[in-house]
Structure 1
Amino acid sequence: MARYIDITLTRRGVTCVAKLLDAEAPRTCDAVWNSLPLGVNAFHAKYARNEIYTLVDAFADEEPGLENPTITPIPGDVMYFEFAPWQLTPSTHGYGDVDTPAQGKIDLAVFYGRNNLLLNADFGFVPGTVFATIVRGLDEIAEASNDLWLRGVEGEVLRFDRHDGEL
């Protein structure tokens, strides 16, 4: 039976629904599903282009590893990335202040437009796991994501929850 998640920009009050890709990324889907709800501060990508994301502490008992990988996500892809502490230092990426030690994080990301390339100037290509695809509300989340880019992310939360109800 298919499993679905709600992905919400809470301040903007916009939610989309994504179908988990259990056949393509079973370990990642289970790790995310078993840890919901997830999400804190929302960010808009600087390099990848049409991406919003949240950084959460590791939540899986065992990291799922790379499944269903890509470096060129398409609109509607929902992705999982594991970042080591050295990859997200406060001094280079602005996640915390310079006196805070760097910590590893899980990046849960939503891609809402075309022409994305997961390339980081510090360490090259960044493959991630595509674990879900948006099946309802892509246009609405794209519009809200553009607003996030134009007006800023302060006070916004990107939240992932289990979907309850009809599609």
Structure 2
Amino acid sequence: IAISKGDRMDLVMQKATELGVTTITPLTSERTEVKLKGERLEKKLQHWQQIVISACEQCGRNRIPAVNALSTMDNWIKAVEADRKFVLHHRTEQALDSTQAASSTALLIGPEGGLSEREITAAEQYNFAALRLGPRVLRTETAPLAAISLLQHTWGDM
């Protein structure tokens, strides 16, 4: 997920952990407004790691999700491996095909303002399928939680 402003990332880290994700990678994208570097970045990564640990304790989960180092979106889409890869895109007509099960899934979610058309096209070039969650445009902290819930319901343990 692209880094978002305020405490939105904290909320996503916490709830994504409760929903069962195994890895979270904070990303920078063209529209990311939050700039993290050096000591401030290290403190933020430690803060997010503590959030996922606390979320695991709260929900009784015994596996702590990895909180990866900050990456650019362009580098991440080239490196991520999963059976199915999706880029959330509210302008596509493509909904989730529940008949194509996956044992692992990667989701790419943009910041406030979404991903640019160039970024969506780049993700599609690396086998990310555009995915629409419905007729509404969801906020950056709501979209990943809705998508994770949908995927968990369709292929997971929910």
TM (norm. structure 1) is: 0.23
Q: Which has the higher strand share?
A: 1
TM (norm. structure 2) is: 0.24
